[in-house]
Structure 1
Amino acid sequence: METNDIYLLMQKAHEVKENSYSPYSNFRVGAAIKMDDDHIFTGANIENVSFGATNCAERSAIFTALSAGYQRKTIKAIAVAGDTEDFLPPCSICRQVMVEFCEPDTPVYLTREDQSILTTSVKELVPFAFETMDM
């Protein structure tokens, strides 16, 4: 992706943080995903008093795209933004969802408060991914 596209995706991730429902942790996270047709979906973390029912920003964005009719492996890039001093990587559950719905080389852009961006990939985040279920 071009630099301007990366910054736009990251901007969308920062903007959607404002929609976070995080009264228990006060930890806002936003995510933006770009599809192979360049459509962008966003998601924010939505907490629940029962933390197991909480949904992360990354999964919110991915599930919204799937609910809109997009298929597996059509995600072109993912951006994650939080209010952190260091880069904010996806949790392990989100990483496993990325393995299911992204190609291994799908870029994942992480940011921090100073707006710098770290570029990684799904494969780098999950080097020994659980990818198939043999029956």
Structure 2
Amino acid sequence: MSRSTPSAGCDEAVLIAAAREARRQAHAPYSGFSVGAVVQARSGKLYTGCNIENASFGLTVCAERVALFKALSEGERQFQAVVIATDATTPTPPCGACRQVLWEFCGDIRIISAGPQGKTAEWSLAALLPAAFDDRNLAATTPSSPEPD
């Protein structure tokens, strides 16, 4: 569900509540690890997502990517925060695939993770993904030629 009303100035508690609500929609029959996420666009709108597992595990989609792709499909291109909610004892950062996708579309965004007892953690995406791969790496390529015999 995306919230279409602007939420500029949302405090952390509102973002965490939205991520926890999104977690209720998770489809995690294989791992039992339900995740909810909310992406806050600079427009103020909130876009939620949950993890959706598939028996072919590689086709599973994480909550963070669901929320981000919903925002992108609605035309958003600037973001200010991503919040993740799980039942893990320790707040959980995004997986590697989500880190890469978030970097591509959000840059060095604020990441907040909330556990069930109110424990939270916060990181910058740059801290979670040092030496990120992006379009700057592609611009530095040169055509390769075969080595002489």
Same fold, TM-score > 0.5, yes or no: yes
Q: Tell me the distance in 1 between the aligned counterparts of 2:101 and 2:13.
A: 24
Give the unaligned 5+ runs of structure 1. Answer: none
User: Identity, % of aligned pairs?
Assistant: 37
| Aligned equivalents of 1:37, 1:17: Cα separation in 2 | 23
Matches of 2:106 and 2:76 in 1, distance apart? Answer: 12
In structure 2, stretches of 5+ residues that fail to align are 1-7, 142-149
Equivalent of residue 87 in structure 2, options 83, 88, 111: 83
Instruction: Supply the distance in 1 between the matched residues of 2:33 and 2:122 (Cα, whole angstroms).
Output: 22
Once the two structures are superposed, residues 37-66 of structure 1 have per-residue CA deviations (whole angstroms, 9 ceiling, x without a partner) of: 110000000000000000000000000001
Instruction: Give the Cα–Cα distance (whole angstroms) in 2 for the partners of residues 26 and 33 of structure 1.
Output: 23
| 1:33 equivalent among 39, 55, 70 | 39
Corresponding residue SS for 1:9:
helix
Hey, what's the Cα distance between the residues in 1 that align with 2:100 and 2:71? 17
Number of equivalenced pairs:
131
Q: 1:100 aligns with which of 104, 119, 142?
A: 104
Q: Specify which of 25, 29, 50 is matched with residue 44 of structure 1.
A: 50
Q: Which residue in 1 is equivalent to 2:69?
A: 63
Q: Distance in 2 between matches of 1:125 and 1:112?
A: 18
Secondary structure, aligned partner of 1:20: coil
CA contact (8 A) 1:86 1:113 kept: no
> What is the one-letter code of the residue matched to 1:24?
Y
Give 4+ residue runs of structure 1 displaced > 2 Å after superposition. none
Larger Rg, first or second structure (1 or 2): 2
TM-score, normalised to structure 1, is 0.92
Amino acid at match of 1:84: A
Distance in 2, Cα, partners of 1:69 & 1:37: 11
Query: What root-mean-square deviation, in Å, do the aligned CA atoms of Structure 1 and Structure 2 show?
Result: 1.4
